[in-house]
Structure 1
Amino acid sequence: MTAGASEQPLIPQPPTTVAALRQAVAQIAPAALPAFTRELDQAADQARLGSDLAPLQRFTAHWAVHVHIQRQPRLAARFGELENAASTANAHEARQAAAEIGLILDDARAAPAQDLR
């Protein structure tokens, strides 16, 4: 059985480069572009000051996860619901929501590496 159109990703997972991630964010979550640019500037400044690429690597890893989630409408909707529940629900429900958020993030962190194979 194939997935329905609403279950298909909006775009393929892009390579984990600044340019590809910027283009993906512009397509699937244009409202996030100011945050993307601000965080890129901060990461570049930190990398320059510390003569270390780790801030840029963390930046691209973070935005690859963001794109992985946002390019899948159902997953993005569920993630938003869980974020809301984690901040507004009672303690037990908030813990459950946080646990599911953790699973989604774990899957998203593993997915970009798999998608690029």
Structure 2
Amino acid sequence: MSAQTDGPIEPLIPMPELTPDALRAAVARIAPSRIPALTQHLFEATTNAQQTQSLAPLRAFVLPQRGYPQWAVFVSIQRHPERAARLRELERIVDAGEQDPAAAITEIQAIRETAEAETGL
């Protein structure tokens, strides 16, 4: 099921630092339509951090949190157009429910694990 290319293709942008500003700048360049979601998530994380007097909500902005993309992993995937397109296709296969999703789910997990490794998470 994998549609990998024969050789490495340069990413659109280098992997940014794992800070809100750097991730926002990266998303603005590679997936500008996602800026509203990122901004909303960052606003919620900042508000929660202030209310709880903890940095945990801001760490969750970068790291996994239920209901939100892991922005570092999102950027890692999206900066490789072929990888992003493949992920969208695999997600479509799973969502459609027209065939056994096991192979697609396994490949989605592999894509996410590769992206996590690239981010250093």
TM bin, normalised by shorter chain, reads: 0.7 to 0.9
1:91 shift after superposition: 5.4
| d(CA) in 2 for partners of 1:77, 1:47 | 34
The gaps in structure 1 that reach 5 residues or longer are none
2:56 counterpart residue number: 54
Q: Residue by residue, what CA displacement relative to the aligned partner does 1:30-73 show, whole Å, maximum 9, x if unpaired?
A: 00000000010111112222222122112123111000000001
User: What amino acid sits opposite 1:79 in the alignment?
Assistant: L
1:78 counterpart residue number: 86
User: What amino acid sits opposite 2:31 in the alignment?
Assistant: A
Extract structure 1 runs of 4+ deviating beyond 6 A. Answer: none
Identity over aligned pairs, percent = 42
2:38 counterpart residue number: 36
1:95 and 2:95 are equivalent in the alignment: no
Tell me the matched-pair count.
Answer: 110
The gaps in structure 2 that reach 5 residues or longer are 1-5, 64-69
Q: Is the Cα–Cα contact under 8 Å of residues 93 and 99 in structure 2 kept in the other structure?
A: no
| d(CA) in 2 for partners of 1:46, 1:22 | 19
Q: TM-score, normalised by structure 1?
A: 0.85
Q: TM-score, normalised by structure 2?
A: 0.82
| d(CA) in 1 for partners of 2:48, 2:114 | 28
| d(CA) in 1 for partners of 2:114, 2:54 | 27
| d(CA) in 2 for partners of 1:58, 1:105 | 17
CA RMSD of aligned residues (A): 1.9
User: What amino acid sits opposite 1:107 in the alignment?
Assistant: T
1:106 and 2:91 are equivalent in the alignment: no
